[in-house]
Structure 1
Amino acid sequence: MADLSFYISPLSEEIREEGRAQGRAQGRAQARGESILILLGARGIDITDATREKLTTCTDSELARTWLIRAVHATTAEEIFGAEEPTGR
């Protein structure tokens, strides 16, 4: 019979918790990106396809939070991203 003790070990639980934390952070980033799109749409601010992709693929929740705060007062997408406007990545 195979030794399955690793799956209930503290190390295994730590690895699972790190994965859950990463997933939660990515979920927050995605939700913030979607909120920015809703906010800009409601305010009639046009965005490029590259900007839309940048918002929907961002996995950094703190960066997305910064963008969301900027989006509250921005009148253009450029004001949200500044020098970090999408470069096609």
Structure 2
Amino acid sequence: MEARDPERAELLAEFTNQGLDSTKASQIWSDLLKTDLSFFTSSAAQEIRAEGAAEGLSHYLLHHLERRNIPVSDADRDRITTCDDRDTLTRWIDRAITATSTTEVFAEDPAAQGQ
């Protein structure tokens, strides 16, 4: 439908998302959209795509810290899993390569401190 009528496809995707609200079917809909979002351009699809990317990055960061035997407190785990900013998560992953603690992973950027 996207190829023949992109506006209608976006509208239907949005209506479906709104109609499901927070029902169990909403999770199924979300999973379906995650399988291939390349043809969805609605704001709902873009939001799900961003959530999926952040979730994947947070999972990778936790996995990396575990493999490096860096202890992760419940508070640190919560901070990582609730972060939805991909740039922040990527920065934390980069730091986790050489960090010896989560304190080092979460450290402020020296450039940001001067602002």
TM-score by length of 2: 0.57
Q: Percent identity?
A: 29
Which of 62, 71, 88 does residue 87 from structure 2 map onto?
Answer: 62
Indicate whether 1:28 and 2:53 are aligned.
Answer: yes
| Counterpart among 65, 72, 82 of residue 40 in structure 1 | 65
Matched, 1:18 2:43: yes
1:8 maps to a residue whose letter is R
Runs of 4+ in 1 over 4 A off after TM superposition: none
Residues in 1 aligned to 2:91 and 2:47: alpha-carbon distance in whole angstroms: 18
- Bigger helix share: 1
1:28 CA displacement: 0.9
> Which one scores higher on RCO, CA 8 angstroms, separation ≥ 6?
1
Question: In 2, Cα distance between the equivalents of 1:48 and 1:31?
Answer: 20
Matches of 1:61 and 1:25, distance apart in 2:
8
In the alignment, structure 1 segments of 5+ residues that lack a partner are: 1-6, 84-89
